[in-house]
Structure 1
Amino acid sequence: MKKNFLFICFVLLSCFSLAAQNPSESFTKLFARFKEMAVVYEECRARNDYEGMSRALKEQIALLEKVEPAGEGANDREMREKLLANQYYNLACAYALKSKSKAAVEAFRKAVEHGFKNYRHTCNDPDLASIREDRRFRKLLGRIIQYDNLHMLRTARSYRREQTDSLPNFTYQSASDHNLKAVRERFRLDSIAGSGDEVSKIMNVMTFVHNNIRHDGSNYALCEFNANDIYNYHKATGMGVNCRHLAMMLNEMYLSLGIPSRYVTCMPKDPNDGDCHVIVAVYSAQLGKWLWIDPSFNAYVKDENGHLLSIAEVRERLIDGRPVVLNEDANWNNKVKQTKEEYLENYMAKNLYYFICAEQSRFNAESRYRYTGIRYVALLPEGFETQSVSGDMYTVTSDAEYFWQPPSSAK
């Protein structure tokens, strides 16, 4: 069941006006009544009064159906549909909890008609347990599975081998570079990495970045994009930085220790989805493979036998259903624990459709203030096209073997 009722009230107030009536009076009354019903609903839910919940939701739906988008804005119409979909879904839950199967399925049908798409939440919502095996409900689920992130990933076409002789070589800046030397010294990375084996050093440096720089996915930092300036920006302002900046910072730290790595932009299929995620692929000479390292969530992934996995391996396993194991201490800002189901099977499944890496992994590869000459390589499933990687800055391939080739030092 979805419960953000008061938030919905404020969204409603900002997005809609009452059709053919005085918005300053009539709409204010409508909003006040909608808010009252939100409070009534919460009170009924607290005492498991499913009939009361249903009455409150039905009145909210009736109020929503009295309003229309302000002006001709498509965004307003979309918001109204989302609100109706949300409330019809909650009504389905209330009916299901009362074992009113027919009414529950009908309410869920209306939620789907208004654009409800959250297949995974629906499958796992205990409020819908009484209709889980209902034939009509299963049919409706079949209509929205196409929007499930893991399903979309599993329906992606495979990669293909290509002629790669003319494609650019991936390069990794030497730890002897003066900027990387300064990073190593400034952060005392030899001490942070510790005296253990290479894998333990990789993990220790990731955790250092995670614990010392707060993640804020909405903030595009006002600084140069290198480890020194990102760290200084966070400490001076107290503001977090986004996943890209955390990955850039960690990437430079690995390079400064002589460990080849790249920051990898993990992209969704949907061109209208503005959210992606950036993590690090670090090459372990000890294990002879790339490793999935995510400083935003202090995350890495293993198989069922405890072997660390690469980004490519995690993607393959999610597609074919083999086990993936997220580390127990994966978290967001040391506040919110991450789970395999949400982090890997939902969020990252969405963002593993295709990948983008810089040709040259180096200090200050990108800048907020100037063009650094950077060029990128994008790995796309066969037959998939997107404007996101068009233009002279991008080389596009569907050859995964080329894209994930080990550093030349490891060949």
Structure 2
Amino acid sequence: MRRRLPFLACLLLHCLTLRAQQAPSTAAFDAYCTTFFKEIQGLSDAKEYRQILSRYPEWEAKYNALGAADKQLFRGALANNVDYNRACYYALLKDRPNAVLSFRQAVEHGYKNYSHAKVDSDLDLIRGDKDFQQQMALIREHGDFIYVLQQAKGYAPNEARKLPAFTYQSADEPHLVALRKTYKLDSIAGQGNEVSRYINLLHWVHEQVPHDGNHENPAVRNAQDLLRVCRAEKRGLNCRGLATILNEAYLAMGYKARFVGCLPKDSTDYDSHVINAVYSPSLQKWLWMDPTNDAYVMNEQGQLLSIEEVRARIIDGRPLLVNPTANWNHKVSKTKEDYLYQYMAKNLYKLQCPLSSQYDLETRGATKSLQYVTLLPATVGAHKPAVRNTQDGPTSFTLYNTSNAAAFWQKP
């Protein structure tokens, strides 16, 4: 398969995250990357592989002239857009030694896309090479996210350490009452069964505010204020902000709900996701709802699934379906292949949610004390303390760890 530079869009999106704080050299290199890799794509489409290889030293020279922080920011481009693609072009030119060397350099610089490298026909020339196979084994531990989940060895249902009870704020709380009335949530939820009401509210939040992962959320973090600020400033929110709005909408309607942080195994990977879990009394389980992607997940019979069920099915290979309307900002459709088997498989290694589900939970304050619970695989949880206390400015945190999935997903 010819190079389509799949990492470029992700790289540029990440670079834009700190655009407001970038030094001029950073912004200039960002713009240079856009122009350079478009040129490379054109040459690739024309199969001018030798010319491409002659162009890479120019990019590397500019990269090497960057400061340490900028090098780290653009390291992904080095691994994905230069080293990996160079390995492909050398392989297409039947230059086995340089193809193997370039692939090793890609891995050394952080290349992790195991699933792509596994099927990329451009690399067929070197698949039998021992060095290539060793490098593939290395990136499998970091980039084959289903394999990483499978190696986690499950949870510890008989774990002795106890958790405090999860709590859910009553719909009678004045701010939640105001949210329900102001936005006519009863009408939005509709008169259908409970699952249809959950989905209607999911769609509503998705339509109210676009996802914007490039900026911090406003300091005041409750649904009313977040909606007001986003409308006034014509701005979006990151996934945590969207999940906060949906969570409070569910609470305002009297539905027991949590927002759930979905975290990768790699502690240096800061790309995580936050979705919602709303409890269905009729189905007797929590249901997956993702306002960022307007997504919920089903089995082969079309029955809605919980986060726990989705994770288990990813691990053991049972079928999964994503609603056909799932999308990112009405620009990118979400399929099970990219959404579940790549992105969410990476981010379902650890799960975290607050003990108290309530209005304005994460607005910081001098008297604020927040409590969170993290669900860890048994192999990880055995080495973590049961409780840890920490401080972030004036806000104190109590962090509980557990490997008991039943305790984490206890019924409300």
Q: TM-score, normalised by structure 2?
A: 0.81
Q: Distance in 1 between matches of 2:294 and 2:234?
A: 20
SS across alignment from 1:236: helix
Contact 2:44 2:52 (C-alpha < 8 Å) held by counterparts: no
Contact 1:57 1:90 (C-alpha < 8 Å) held by counterparts: no
5 Å-filtered alignment, 1:379-390, equals: 379-384=375-380, 390=388
Name the residue aligned to 1:86: 81
Report the alpha carbon displacement of residue 122 of structure 1 after superposing the two structures with TM: 1.7
Name the residue aligned to 1:283: 279
**Residue 316 (structure 1) aligned to one of 294, 312, 318:** 312
Name the residue aligned to 1:41: 40
Q: Distance in 1 between matches of 2:117 and 2:199?
A: 36
Report the alpha carbon displacement of residue 263 of structure 1 after superposing the two structures with TM: 0.8
**Residue 251 (structure 2) aligned to one of 240, 247, 255:** 255
Name the residue aligned to 2:220: 224
Once the two structures are superposed, what CA deviation does each residue of 1:216-259 show, in whole Å capped at 9, x if it has no partner?
Answer: 12322224211111110110111101111111111111111111
Q: Which amino acid aligns with 2:388?
A: S
**Residue 229 (structure 2) aligned to one of 233, 239, 253:** 233
Q: Which amino acid aligns with 2:44?
A: R
**Structure 1's 92 and 329: CA in aligned 2 closer, same or farther, altered over 3 A?**
same
Q: Distance in 1 between matches of 2:260 and 2:62?
A: 47
Q: Which amino acid aligns with 2:402?
A: T
Contact 2:258 2:276 (C-alpha < 8 Å) held by counterparts: yes
Contact 1:95 1:101 (C-alpha < 8 Å) held by counterparts: yes
Report the alpha carbon displacement of residue 40 of structure 1 after superposing the two structures with TM: 5.8
Q: Which amino acid aligns with 1:402?
A: A
Contact 1:58 1:91 (C-alpha < 8 Å) held by counterparts: no
Report the alpha carbon displacement of residue 365 of structure 1 after superposing the two structures with TM: 1.6
5 Å-filtered alignment, 1:292-307, equals: 292-307=288-303
Contact 1:89 1:107 (C-alpha < 8 Å) held by counterparts: yes
Q: Distance in 2 between matches of 1:277 and 1:379?
A: 15
Higher alpha-carbon Rg: 1
Aligned length: 385
Report the alpha carbon displacement of residue 372 of structure 1 after superposing the two structures with TM: 3.2
Q: Does 1:215 align with 2:208?
A: no
Report the alpha carbon displacement of residue 113 of structure 1 after superposing the two structures with TM: 4.4
Contact 2:43 2:51 (C-alpha < 8 Å) held by counterparts: no
**Structure 1's 39 and 315: CA in aligned 2 closer, same or farther, altered over 3 A?**
closer
Q: Which amino acid aligns with 2:305?
A: L
Q: Does 1:358 align with 2:354?
A: yes
SS across alignment from 1:375: strand
Consecutive unaligned residues of structure 2, counting only runs of 5 or more, are 16-21, 390-396
Contact 1:269 1:354 (C-alpha < 8 Å) held by counterparts: yes
Q: Distance in 1 between matches of 2:104 and 2:211?
A: 39
**Residue 179 (structure 1) aligned to one of 157, 175, 179:** 175
**Structure 1's 122 and 258: CA in aligned 2 closer, same or farther, altered over 3 A?**
same
SS across alignment from 2:258: strand
Once the two structures are superposed, what CA deviation does each residue of 1:329-379 show, in whole Å capped at 9, x if it has no partner?
Answer: 111111111121211111111211111111111111220455533211221
